[in-house]
Structures are given as C-alpha cells and as structure tokens.
Structure 1
Amino acid sequence: MSGNKKYFAFFQKLGKVLMTPVMILPIAGILLGIGAAFTSASILNVCPALENPFVQLIFKLFKVVGGIVFSNLPVIFAISIAIGYVKREKGIAALAAFISFIVMHKTMSTILISLGKLNPEKLTTGQSLILGIPSLDVGIFGGIIIGFVVAYLHNKYYDIMLPPALSIFSGTKFVPVISILGSIVVGIILSFLWPFVQTGLSSLSLLIKSTGAIGTFIYGSVERLLLPFGLHHFVYLPFFFTSLGGSAEIGGKVVEGAINIFQAQLSSPTAMFDINVTRFLMNGKILFASFGLPGAAFAMYHVARPENKKKVKALFIAAAIPAFFTGVTEPIEFSFMFIAPILYLVHAGMSGLAYFLTYLFNINVPGSSAFGGPFLSTIFNGMLQSSKGSNWIYIPIIGVIYFLAYYFIFKGLILKLNLKTPGRGIEDSLEEDEKNSTISKASDDIIKNIIEALGSKENILSVDACFTRLRVKVKDKSKVADDNKWKKLGANGVVRVQDGVQVIYGNKADVYKNKVREEIGMD
C-alpha cells in the first residue's frame, strides 16, 4: 500500500473509531451551551427573572451534565481507540485504557509535584484536575496516545503464555499489567516534554499582543489548532485574566484582563468598548461558530451519499444547534477533524480570518461562553449595547458571507480530494433502510440461518459490525451463500471483500453481530 493510501486508511479508521464518542457531543453541547448561557452574569443582569433559584438549578444541571462529557473527552477517546483497534477481548482493552489513563496522569502529577512544578492547591494555566488528579492538561492528545499504546500492547500480549511461576498473569490478565507499565513511561515522557511546549506558547502570547491585526489572526488560528492537544487555554486564558489582555482605568478604578475590562465597560455609563479588549474575548468566534461551521455541516450533508443523508442530516442539525446558539463547536469539529485533517487546517485558517475581520470592522461583541456564547452575546452585548460601539450590524452581513465561504470551500475540497466525511465512507456507511428503522430482537432462527449462510461456525474467523453492515471474515469465501440467499434472510445487499463479506442489515447489524458471536461462542 502506498504512503498516501496508508495515510488515508489510518485516518479513515480513526474517524470510524471516534464516530461513537463524536455522536455523543451534540446533545452534550446543547446542554452545556444552554446552561452556560443562562447562568452567565451578563445575561442575568439583563434578565433578572432568570435568577429564580429553581430555574438556575435546572440550568446549572444542564451546564454540569454537558460539561462533564467535554471535560472527560480525553479518557473517552482513550477507551474508544483501545476498543476500536484491538482484535479481541475489547472489554479488557477498555478497562486497561481507563486504568492506563489514570496512571499516566498520576505519574505526571507525582513527578511534577516532586520537582516543585505543580502545586495541587494552586494550579496554573495548563494544569487542571483530571479525574480528580492534579496534572498537566494534555487534552485529547494524551487520551489518543494512551488509546494507541493500550491497543498495541493488547494485540501483542492478550494471548501470551508466561512461565509457570507467573502463569496467573497469562493471557488477558497480562494486558492491564503491561499497559500500566506503558502508561508510566508515557507519563514520564510527557512530564518533561509538555512543559517545554507550554513555555513556547506563553512566548507566543507576547507576539500576539504586539502585532495588532496580524496577531489577532494568529490568536484565532492557533487557538483552534491547539484544541485537539488541550493547549488552546494557553492562547486565551492569559489575555482573559492578566495584563496581557490590557489594563484600563474605568470609573476611577484600574482593572486588568480582557474579561474584567469588558465587564467594567458594560457597567460604566460612559466607557466605550475597545477592539483591543474584545479581540481577546473571542469576537471572531461569532463568525465561525454561528455561521461558518453550520455552513461546513451543510456542505458535508450535501455531499453525503443519498442513502445516508437522512442520518447525516440528524447528526449535523444536532451539532449545528449548539454551534450557532452557544458557540460549542466541538460536535461539528470532531466530526471531520480526524477523518479529514486538511479540512481542520482550513477551518483553523478561516477562524483566524474571522478574528482578523472582526478587528478590521471593529466588532466589539464577545463570543466566549463567559458572555452567554455568540448568539446571546450578539443580542445582549451587541444589539442592546450599540451605543457603546458594539458595531453588531456587521455580524449578520459578514456572517452570511462566512456561511457561504465555508460551504463552498468544504464542498469543493471534499469532492476534489474524495474525503470520507460522515456519510461518504464505505466502512463508515450510515445506510439505513426504512423498513429496518426499528431494531427488533433477533430470533434464534435468523441467527442460525445467517451462520449457515456464512459457511457454518467453522468457516467464521471474526464477526464485527459498523453502523449498518455485518462484517465477517471467513476462511473460505466460496462457502458463503449467494446474494439471493441473503435477500431471503432480510439483507439489503452484500459486499464481498478480500477476506470475507459485509452484509448490509441496516441498523440491525450490531444486534445481529452480538447474536452471531454468542451463538458461535466467540468473545
């Protein structure tokens, strides 16, 4: 296989593996966005009725429930990758991935505390509590590393036979043991490597502050580029809360940090908004979150295979809602980040351009969740504060252009490069036959007939499933029944591949997979 084919095959499989956790994000994003918006101080100042304790409790629940999913994405990715890349004993792999993730962070925590570089009582930028462990925030990058380490070690050692004295650890019991050792090594490496990366990003903050419009472009692009690595906090937090974000005397009081300055400007009857403050409060996010990414989602829907459009439509509507209304963009971004990295690079550049444009047009409307997210901030900090120089009127004008730009750029690149975005992949097919829209319990007869059609239990090497296909590897393909037989068994079609068959059963495929594996005694 050529280098390019290996590259695309790797990311296509990674995209497939991560599709399940990605599909969790839209509902989590909606809950988080609504909760964050209606518990923010700026919204409560305008709508005091929302301060009702019961109403606030509901919104706080929304916020914490949605937030817990996003804050634990690294470990969710670690488990998903481990499950997706191991050949057998997936439950053991999931357990090993979770344990290894904890061990990696505990290793980093112990080393950094011992070196005096981490104080559990006073965590600094780039440090956070990970599953209760004070550690470096390495984001989903750390989760992905652990997932691959565990998958590699699992596939290599899950059937190992140890000497009699150590035989109690033979087989799958050895997987957590070797995975723990591997995660200690990863933790040691990251303990010494990651702080250098973080130091470099701190220096970048000074460059951003001193270069005006160009620095604003860098701010927006780098913030998105570093999102997968959990390092994006290094871009915006210093500007939010330190003098890097500015210093101003408002109402006779000196305030520092972009958030503090903007809040003081809101409270002052005379102070005007300042683009050198709002550029660090994610004003560019209003363009790419509320308009650009929905345009990208619309493009991915349009280029999906016809039979997949219905399910892709549901996925992207659910993902676009939190992006447009609350600025929670991860549900859309993660849908193409790993499957088509070139699209994410384009998106990062377009994000930087959004910040650049808001700087040039002097748009003083924060897009961060601290101000309710893009939609509510446009209303309460834009429309209702036009006398302070919000210049919100440019948002819908440039926004429509941004929607179209994302749509045509994404659509063009997907078609030209044949990118396997959701609904276009073969292995990730989202085909759905309407008559199979309700998953029914698989009867013993149909399962036995499927096994017979596959050439009997002895002919089956492995059984797996994607969204709609029962994927089976067999010893001898000549023993597999013809297409007419499969039609009689309710299949919508059969795809014959090099080492077996993919039988299209709609959304019954996963149920049939489990039933077949149970029937033939396969773990």
Structure 2
Amino acid sequence: MPLIFAVSLPIGLAKQAQGRACLAVLVSFLTWNYFINAMGMTWGNYFGVDFTQDAVAGSGLTMMAGIKTLDTSIIGAIIISGIVTALHNRLFDKKLPIFLGIFQGTSYVVIIAFLVMIPCAWLTLLGWPKVQMGIESLQAFLRSAGALGVWIYTFLERILIPTGLHHFIYGPFIFGPAAVEGGIQMYWAQHLQEFSQSTESLKSLFPEGGFALHGNSKIFGAIGISLAMYFTAAPENRVKVAGLLIPATLTAVLVGITEPLEFTFLFISPLLFAVHAVLAASMSTVMYLFGVVGNMGGGLIDQVLPQNWIPMFSNHADMMLTQIAVGLCFAVLYFVVFRTLILHFNLCTPGREDAEVKLYSKAEYKAARGKTMAAEPDAKLGQAAGILQALGGVTNISSINNCATRLRIALHDMTQTLDDEVFKKLGAHGVFRSGDAIQVIIGLHVSQLREQLDSLISSHQSPENIPVTEAV
C-alpha cells in the first residue's frame, strides 16, 4: 500500500510529464528505503533500532520490495513522494550545458533525488522511531477511550475536509497501523470470512472497526442535508434545486464522494459544515455504542454492501438493522437541524438566493466578461473554456493540478479571476481561494476537465472562441 501511495501521488501533483514523475518517485522511494536499510544495519545501535530482528508485526520494521526498512507506512510514502514530485516540478525543464544534455529531464531529477534521499534516510532513522512510539501511544489512547476515541476521530476526519488534511486523519487508520497492524482495510479483508462465520458480536471480534464508521454520514447524513436544502428552497425553484442535489446526493450515498454536496453549503455557511462534522461524529459514536463496527468508510456500492452487509448478513443481520435504524434517526436529525439553521439564519442555500436559480447562459457569461463569443470550434471544451476565462485566461495560470474532485490552480494574479458565483454558474460546487492559489470544486469528472484545460493551454487556443457550456 505505501508503494501504491508513493507512485500515485505525482499523477495529481506533477505539473507535467506525470508518467515520468511516477517513475522518478518509484526509483527514489526504493532508494530511500535502501539507504535506511544500509544505515540501519551499520549504525542501528546509534539510532536505537535493531535491524537484525525479523520484520514482523510489532518490530517497527517491514519489507518493502524485498528491502528490510522502517515501517513508515503511508506517511513516509506521502512525504517522500511529495519531495520528489516537488523536485520534478522544479528541475524537469531545467536546461543543462550541452555536454550534460544526456542527463536532462527525468535523469536529472533522479540524480538530485538520489542525493536528497541520503539525508532523508538519516533523518527518518533519527526521528521515526519516536513517531512510532507516538503512534503506539495513540493506539493505546483511542482503544482505551472507546466511544470518545471514535467521536474525536470522526469529527477530525470531517472538519478537516476543506483543508485537505483529512487524509492524514483517516489514512493511518484505514491504510496504516494507527488502529491495527496493516490498517483496518487490510485487516478487515483478511478476517472477513472469520468474522462472517462467527456468531459472536462483531464489536467483540473487531472493536477497532469503530474507526471506520465515518462513511455512515455520507449515506444517511447526505440524505438529511439534501432534503433540508430542498424543502427550504423557494417552491418555484425546487425542481431546479432537485436537479442539483440528486446527483450530488447519489454520489455521496453510493460511492462516498461527499465534496460536491458538502461544498454546496460550506462556502455559504461554515457553521453548517461544523454542525455536519459534529453530527457525523455523533452518529458514528452512537452506532459504535450500539455494537456497530466494520469497514464502512465509503458508500453503499463500494464498501458497505460488498464488504459488510452482504457477507455479514447471515450471522450479523441484527447489527445491520441497528445501523440502519440509527442512521435513519440521524437522517431525520440532520434534516431538522439543517432546516432550522437555514431558516433561522436565512442562509442562501440553493433555491433561496435573491436571484432566480437558473443556468448560466452564453449571453450572460459574455455580458459578465464584456467579450463577444465567436464560432463554436469545439463544443466539448465548453465548460473548460468558461473555467479558463473565469480564471483570467491562459496567461494568468501558473500551474494546474487536480485531486478526486477539485481543480487546484496556481495563478499569477488572483485579482484577474471572476466572482465565485461565475464558477458556480459554470457547474462548480464551490471555490476556495488562498493567496494566488485557487481550488475549484468540480466533481468526479474533474480529471476530464483538467485534461481539457491542459489541451486548451498547450495549444494556446483562445477560450473566448469556444462556447461556454452551462451547468446542468
């Protein structure tokens, strides 16, 4: 799993030549682990690490592609991948003297990364054993804290979503050793048959499964939130609001991608998002207290049904009924709380704006920009052209990256961008600005949109000559 995390990170973070960046990360990550092995075998006593022992659970060691190394899990993979990707972005295009031209590009990146991995390995051996002790202490605290630990974990996992730091909360638990050796995902899969055939309660068999209940807010919470926004919208706007909410809700419920829905209200009222985090944590905690555990960090079709309900139904149907009952109760609670807050504070959720809820037409967008649309050379690039114009044009963009649902763009001048409302009319679910960096929440098709933007930028095709596609 750490190797997969390391190699996949440049796909979203590398500014160009993502494939070559992945290769550079792979070579550098293995080099880093090899240096750790060599230094640990030579100076293990100095670092307080016994590299002569077997790499078994509890030893603090692991085997990575046949190399005995420190078990840094996905945290080490993310850090090293980030360092090498940053080197790639900075050095890939660097011009070298003609006699060194053979080393230009990826070779140069790997050479520099090779040298950087030496101090990285030294610092890892110096500091990671202390981090491992901290992880063990965290494990002990969360296990002993019981329901309180579940609440804290789930609350942090939700509340940190706007910053992107939530990956560092759930990652060590789901894919790393923070709760169980190997991570909840792997442990649950390895013991799935054993758990499904046992008549003992799942909570007694796998109490650590309480740290993988955060997906329930994506299923039951999303339903309550959407209904609250629908019924607080103006009656004449509800059909259009439903057209916005239904796809976002289905995405959250079925596959666990909540950003399109959450960012619908996050930028309108952070208070609603904070309440959402509290309710999500409370839902997971109540379920845990009633004996619900499992691997439920995603949606219905990707995790809850295939990994929990279907295999566990024969001997643990009562737990599933409890989960559904608690979830439905919280869906109602979500609806009541969100509806009350929206009405009390008169929040401008979809359908409650002063302006009519409508699609953003080409004529309106043209008026907002004060520019004239020309012929339609490529209708596929319509939304990309609109986003590009809203960002201030090709010359205002320094770099473009994306994650699962967001465009992450570095700009030369933030003042050249248009208002957030323009982005929303073009189909964005929200916009987050910080300095000269901007994140545009698009949804699950963000990778295709990013490719279209790259195509426009690389070909220097003027976005003003492409029709802007309205949000649908």
Q: TM-score, normalised by structure 2?
A: 0.51
Supply the AA of the counterpart residue of 2:134: G
The 2-side partners of 1:165 and 1:203 are apart by 54
Supply the AA of the counterpart residue of 2:282: L
The structure 1 residue matched to 2:28, chosen from 79, 92, 103, is: 103
The structure 1 residue matched to 2:94, chosen from 159, 166, 169, is: 159
Q: In structure 1, what is the equivalent of residue 172 of structure 2?
A: 231
Flag the 1:374–1:100 CA change in 2: closer, same or farther, 3 A: closer
Q: In structure 2, what is the equivalent of residue 75 of structure 1?
A: 7
Asked if 1:439 is matched to 2:367, the reply is no
Flag the 1:76–1:316 CA change in 2: closer, same or farther, 3 A: farther
Q: In structure 1, what is the equivalent of residue 466 of structure 2?
A: none
Asked if 1:267 is matched to 2:267, the reply is no
Deviation of the 1:204 alpha carbon: 2.0
Q: In structure 2, what is the equivalent of residue 202 of structure 1?
A: 136
The 1-side partners of 2:280 and 2:399 are apart by 39
Q: In structure 2, what is the equivalent of residue 421 of structure 1?
A: none
Asked if 1:322 is matched to 2:247, the reply is no
Deviation of the 1:190 alpha carbon: 3.4
Q: In structure 2, what is the equivalent of residue 374 of structure 1?
A: 304
Q: Confirm or deny: 8 A CA contact 1:239 1:258 kept in the other structure.
A: no
The 2-side partners of 1:299 and 1:284 are apart by 23
Asked if 1:355 is matched to 2:284, the reply is yes
Flag the 1:238–1:308 CA change in 2: closer, same or farther, 3 A: same
- Bigger CA drift: 188-197 or 380-389? 380-389
Deviation of the 1:408 alpha carbon: 7.2
Residue ranges of structure 2 left out of the alignment (5+ in a row): 45-49, 234-239, 349-358, 363-375, 383-392, 417-435, 437-447, 462-472
Deviation of the 1:103 alpha carbon: 1.3
Q: Confirm or deny: 8 A CA contact 1:208 1:216 kept in the other structure.
A: yes
Q: What are the equivalent positions in structure 2 for 1:117-266 lying under 5 Å apart?
A: 117=51, 122=56, 136-139=71-74, 142-143=77-78, 146-147=81-82, 150-151=85-86, 154-155=89-90, 158-162=93-97, 166=100, 168-169=102-103, 174-218=108-152, 220=154, 228-229=167-168, 230-232=171-173, 233-237=176-180, 263=194
The 1-side partners of 2:258 and 2:241 are apart by 17
Deviation of the 1:150 alpha carbon: 3.8
Q: Confirm or deny: 8 A CA contact 1:76 1:143 kept in the other structure.
A: no
Flag the 1:231–1:175 CA change in 2: closer, same or farther, 3 A: same
The 2-side partners of 1:390 and 1:514 are apart by 54
The 1-side partners of 2:195 and 2:221 are apart by 31
Deviation of the 1:107 alpha carbon: 1.4
Q: In structure 2, what is the equivalent of residue 33 of structure 1?
A: none
The 1-side partners of 2:85 and 2:147 are apart by 44
Q: In structure 1, what is the equivalent of residue 365 of structure 2?
A: none
Q: Confirm or deny: 8 A CA contact 1:217 1:355 kept in the other structure.
A: yes
**Percent of pairs identical after alignment?**
19
Supply the AA of the counterpart residue of 2:14: A
Q: Confirm or deny: 8 A CA contact 2:295 2:304 kept in the other structure.
A: yes
How many residues are paired up?
357
Deviation of the 1:188 alpha carbon: 3.9
The 1-side partners of 2:336 and 2:66 are apart by 42
The 2-side partners of 1:355 and 1:460 are apart by 47
SS in 1 for 2:94: coil
Q: Cα deviations across residues 219-259 of structure 1 (Å, max 9, x unaligned)?
A: 55577888624422323325999xxx9xxxxxxxxxxx999
Q: TM-score, normalised by structure 1?
A: 0.47
Q: Confirm or deny: 8 A CA contact 1:78 1:98 kept in the other structure.
A: no
Asked if 1:514 is matched to 2:443, the reply is no
The Cα RMSD (Å) is 6.4
Q: Cα deviations across residues 384-420 of structure 1 (Å, max 9, x unaligned)?
A: 74668974463343341465489779999xx99x9xx
Residue ranges of structure 1 left out of the alignment (5+ in a row): 1-67, 84-89, 246-256, 324-330, 419-429, 442-453, 478-498, 500-505, 518-523
Supply the AA of the counterpart residue of 2:286: L
Deviation of the 1:177 alpha carbon: 2.5
Flag the 1:288–1:367 CA change in 2: closer, same or farther, 3 A: farther
Q: Confirm or deny: 8 A CA contact 2:203 2:209 kept in the other structure.
A: no
